[in-house]
A and B are shown apart, each in its own frame.
Chain A
């Protein structure tokens, strides 16, 4: 079983929709939870970071971590065509040497 599971999509939504992206994981030692965004032909860039459980909000983006369910989410409100990209979840923890464990990424398309 992969340590981090992420539905690859593609996910297509109309402009203005609320987008929900999710990852599940199996390693209970993960403590750091990240979302990276990757535009076509570019390297990933860090979008959000959360330590342990809870919510974090940054503008139109909200990251949620539920450690009891081993489930993390990224919500995008009022989605824009410029949000069209691949979203990668990543996690790290002490027992993996804090190496980033990435999901395979979800491809998102926001149509005007």
Chain B
């Protein structure tokens, strides 16, 4: 089954404790992206990757890191989480890049709470 998987689905952590949210897709997609979704603010892009070893900032990259060492994986790293990073996070991938990256397949989401 073609899908985007994220782990963990739910995470409660404390301020400053480094964490990684994993994202994996089995569709051989070049384009991958991370979003956060907050009430009243909608979906906002954190980082995206056009291909292996190619990453770039989205609208809200502060406090986050990413890496793309393999085509299928795109982990999101929070080196020192803070309460304002409490949010619902989605990973997405697309078989198209650039102007064609409109059809994005989203993972099930990771609900992160930072206390």
Contacts and interface: CB of A to CB of B under 8 A. Distances in A.
Contacts of B58: 99
Interface residues of A, number: 23
Nearest to A33: B102
Interface stretch (B12-20, B38-46, B67-75, B76-84): B38-46
B9 to A, nearest CB: 10
A31 B100 CA distance: 11
Contacts of A46: 102-105
Contacts of A88: 42-43
A43 B103 contact: no
Interface of B: 4, 40-45, 48, 58-59, 90, 92, 98-109
Closest 6 CB pairs of A and B: A43-B106, A104-B42, A102-B43, A32-B102, A98-B99, A44-B106
29 contacts: A8-B40, A31-B99, A32-B102, A34-B103, A43-B4, A43-B90, A43-B92, A43-B106, A43-B107, A44-B43, A44-B104, A45-B105, A45-B106, A46-B102, A46-B103, A46-B104, A49-B102, A90-B102, A92-B102, A98-B99, A98-B100, A98-B102, A99-B48, A100-B101, A100-B102, A100-B104, A103-B42, A104-B41, A104-B42
